[in-house]
Structure 1
Amino acid sequence: MYQTHTLQEKLRQFLSVLLPILVSQLALFSMTFFDTIMSGHAGPVDLAGVAIGSSIWVPIQSGLTGILLAVTPMVAQLVGAMRKDQVPFTVIQALYLSVVIGVAVILCGALVLEPILNSMSLETDVREIARRYLIALSFGIVPMFVYTVLRCFIDALGMTRVTMIITLISLPINVALNYLLIFGKFGFPRLGGVGAGVASAITYWCITLISLYVVHRVQPFTEYRMFSRMFRVSLPAWKELLRLGVPIGFSIFFEVSIFAAVTLLMSQFNTVTIAAHQAAMNFASFIYMVPLSISMSLTIVVGFEVGAKRFRDARQYSFLGIGIALMMASLFAVGLFLFSQQVAGFYTTDPDVLQLTQHFLMYSILFLLSDAVAAPIQGILRGYKDVTVPFVAALVSYWVIGLPLGYLLANYTSLAAFGYWIGLIAGLAAGAVFLFGRLLLMQRRTVKADAAA
């Protein structure tokens, strides 16, 4: 990372940070993408089981990893302020915290998984696949959280190409294991959707081990001598991480969990509806990796400029990122409108599921435009370490507006399952409006403070 002076320099630096993050996010999400596609080809029951399992796990994973995302703005601001000597302490404390979080999730899961699944109106086979899928996935929980911290450290230095390479190495491993374990090839047992959970757990271990090696042995990370000194656990440092990370985690949780809640509420419908909903939602989530990557990149560049007290530069980066996100969302929306049948065909060959998936995909177009505004702004505000108001905005827009509206439309109108999607769209749009207002207020304050100084 370096100081920029012109818009062209900012665009060049922003793209150099963004493109590797985008490739990494697409590759990481491809693990879930291939889990869903390959489980779907194993059968509708396997697809529905993985869908239910993912709907339980993904909100928890996203919320807790969101806590650890606090490492990115903290390290970025330390580097921007030329306080690099404090970076190792921050990262090591985050690693300790990640292990504690991972172990706590496993213990809680052992207690509540069965009651949660039994409380749902699921077919017996679907419930069993979901249970075994989550158990298999649990063996990769701790390394996944550890990897999140290491990736935040690497990315905060602007070395996003490194995490891209790590992820690209691990993706073929995941796909190959899916093929072997889901379909039982080359003498491996045919596990169906459960095999996707086993493959993901093994892949998380691979990513983590590679990242540990890179941080320990590869330049420029070796300059930080990350593991040369093992710091004691510092509760004040954990408090600082949690003060910033918990609102981030809850904001992500509220956004992700509303989608998961809708999928769980879909259990009142038949297996075809669940499978079609999951297929369409999976593709919409895949496209979401673009604004999410822009958001993560903006946290890095904005955090770097804010740490150096260059608030006008931070503002320029902000609107540059939002503009790129809107342009990409428009292109994806047109493509999805024209090729919805081909997209649905990626997930299933069942004619009923295929037709219903196409209908759901049309609604997902409106997701794209709202996400193109909301996601980048979330990343910008994290760069400023402004996390409390976005947390409140997420709670209100998703759980006070989006989900209740969707429930009413789905249960008291003829829209049925489509009513939930309309509620989701309304919640996302409301969140985008709230966050944009907060961004304008925050930047007006910082620019005035900069001028006064």
Structure 2
Amino acid sequence: MKIFERFRFQKDEFKTLLSLMMPILITQWFLVGMGAVDIAITGHFNDSVQASVGLGVMVWNPLLLCSTGVLMSVAIFSAHEFGRGKTLEVAKIWHNGLLISTVLILLVVLIMNFFSETLLRLIRVDETLIPGSVSYLRALSIGAPAILVFNSLRAVCDGVARPIIITIVCGIGFVVNAVLNYVLVNGYEPLGIPSFGIVGSGVGTGLTFWIMLLLLILFTFIDPRLKSLRLFRRPQKPDERLREMVKVGLPSGATLFAEVAIFSAAGLILGQFGTNVVASHQISLSITSLTFMIPVSLAMALTAMTGHRMGRMDYASVLRVSRMGIVVVIGLMVVTSLILFGARYHIPQLYNSNPEIVHMSAALIIYSIFFQLPDGLQIAANGVLRGMKDTKTPMLLGIASYWLIAFPLCYYLGVVKEMEAAGVWIGLIVGILFAAIFLNIRLAILSRRLPVAKAVQETEVLGV
């Protein structure tokens, strides 16, 4: 019975987790949905255009999520200060975050405009797809500054437990992106707008990012809690926390990059096998990305909850939240696996009407089912570890799992053994399994070091 006692958690904490997670989840679905809309609209426009956009998205996603991971330090530090009741310190944290965002913007825009073609050629992507992918990335780069500043503000909202604002903004952004992409990709004759194809897809999404940023800034002056933070008062000089934020944020960003980039690298490896293979991989990856956002959202909520409790030194609650995350993610991943299995032939048809591509996508979705549970467990563990400000060791564990285990195996099975997409996905499954094992062991070790955990262990030894 003791094993069940360890996984009991309070109802109010469970409600808090759900109240934080659900807006974040809907937000993530809106954000991922923008990429899915880009792929779906271009898929019904032209198969080769869809494949080119898909390759462009594979380059863009790691850049975006790496930057988002670095800016998670804003959420972590905001959560700690908010948990201590020092609300005015949150603005100083955000101003530090803006400096970090500026550096990230420069790097991301440079890579998208000047190095993306070199990267695609280095991995021997089909030459016919490269020009379109580069054009998409250059068009999309107009929105890179907006989305990175947006993510810094979003991190503040997550840190002070106001994710609903982000949900509203991203919901509007999703609709705007769909309309702009459809019009700019296909053209709209009544208004005399010609078809811009691939470039139209990138420009449409880039413009959407600027609209989202302006809306979020507006909300900071309207929402009572955000307004009380006085985020836009006179800019503060960087303080001693900037260095600590970079120290925490860089490993967090590298961890996210290591995981997301391995999926992109897997897709780029497949770029040498032609349009249908690339399109089917991108479709199945886009679909599983929607389920991937469930544990990601759970992890973000766990980061905020853990950060608040660490800030007020409520270590008993930290342990409960950690165990609650394990129970919840197991249940969620079982459900998503069942849904993916049942809908594996139906959902790909929303992206493409080519029967061969749909069939190949359905086969790859079966492989994705096998990493649903380990993926959820490693992401949830990482969320709690971030709340504890432990990011360096998880980064090293993630890099080892994805790039020392998964990537070589993906290349060996996919290219050397000529298993193509199936071999690549088997390599991904193995890497994610190792990440789940490593990160949950790390979480167990740190949990035992908390003062309350030591007290419980001493009590159990004494037989109390």
Separation (CA, whole Å) in 2 of partners of 1:118 and 1:401: 24
State the shift of 1:118 in Å. Answer: 4.2
Give, in whole Å, the separation in 2 of the partners of 1:94 and 1:345.
Answer: 41
Question: Would the aligned equivalents of 1:309 and 1:450 in 2 still touch at CA under 8 Å?
Answer: no
Deviation at 1:392, TM superposition (A): 0.7
Structure-to-structure mapping, 1:101-116, within 5 angstroms: 101-116=104-119
Determine whether 1:309 maps to 2:344.
no
Number of paired residues? 447
- Cα deviation code 1:125-183 (max 9, x no counterpart): 42221111001110011111101110110111111111111111221111111110111
**Aligned 8 A contact 2:382 2:439 in 1:** yes
**Which runs of 5 or more residues in structure 1 are unaligned?**
none
Deviation string 1:271-329 (CA, Å, 9 cap, x unpaired) is 11111111111111111011110000000111101111011111111221222221111
Q: 1:20, 1:164 within 8 Å by CA — same for their partners in 2?
A: yes
The structure 1 residue matched to 2:70, chosen from 51, 67, 71, is 67
The answer to whether the 8 Å contact 1:216/1:227 transfers is no
- Maintained 8 Å contact 1:33/1:282: yes
Secondary structure at the residue paired with 2:346?
A: helix
Q: Which amino acid aligns with 1:212?
A: I
Of 323-332 and 436-445, more deviation after overlay is shown by 323-332
Give per-residue Cα distances to partners, 1:353-393, cap 9 Å, x unaligned.
11111111110111211111011111110000011111011
Asked if 2 retains the 8 angstrom alpha-carbon contact of 1:170 and 1:203, the reply is yes
Cα shift at 1:268:
1.9
CA-CA distance at 1:447 after TM superposition: 4.0
Q: Which amino acid aligns with 1:162?
A: I
Conserved in 1, the CA contact under 8 Å of 2:34 and 2:177? Answer: yes
Residue 407 of structure 1 corresponds to which residue in structure 2?
A: 411
Correspondence 1:372 to 2:376: yes
Q: Distance in 2 between matches of 1:111 and 1:291?
A: 34
Residues 375-431 of structure 1, C-alpha deviation per residue, up to 9 Å, x if partnerless? 111111000001111101101100111111121112333523311110000000000
Whether the aligned pair in 1 keeps the contact of 2:40 and 2:352 (CA below 8 Å) is yes
Return the letter of the residue paired with 2:296: L
The more displaced of 237-246 and 386-395 is 237-246
Which residue of structure 2 lines up, in the alignment, with residue 85 of structure 1? 88
Matched to 1:333, the amino acid is: S
User: Does the CA contact (< 8 Å) of 1:216 and 1:226 recur in 2?
Assistant: no
8 Å contact 2:125–2:268 — kept in the other structure?
no
The amino acid that maps onto 1:67 is V
Report the AA paired with residue 274 of structure 1.
V
Confirm or deny that 1:426 pairs with 2:430: yes
Q: In the alignment, which residue of structure 1 is the partner of 2:329?
A: 325
TM-score, length of structure 2 as denominator length = 0.92
For residues 17-56 of structure 1, give each alpha carbon's deviation from its aligned partner in whole angstroms, at most 9, with x where no partner exists.
1111111111111101111111111111011101111112
1:105 Cα deviation (Å)? Answer: 2.4
Match of 1:40, as an amino acid?
G
Alignment of 1:169-208 (within 5 A): 169-186=172-189, 187-208=192-213
Query: What CA distance in whole angstroms lies between the structure 2 residues aligned with 1:436 and 1:329?
Result: 16
Residue identity over aligned pairs, in percent, reads 30
TM-score by length of 1: 0.95
1:227 aligns with 2:251: no
1:100 aligns with one of 78, 100, 103: 103
Residue 18 (structure 1) aligned with residue 18 (structure 2): no
1:81 Cα shift? 1.8
Equivalent residues in 2 for 1:272-291, closer than 5 Å: 272-291=276-295
Question: Greater shift after overlay, 102-111 or 189-198?
Answer: 102-111
Compute the displacement of 1:122 (Å): 4.3
Distance 2:322 2:252 in 1: 18
Which stretch shows the higher mean deviation, 263-272 or 405-414? Answer: 405-414
Worse-superposed segment, 217-226 or 269-278: 217-226
- Which aligned pairs between 1:218-367 and structure 2 lie closer than 5 A? 218-234=223-239, 236-367=240-371
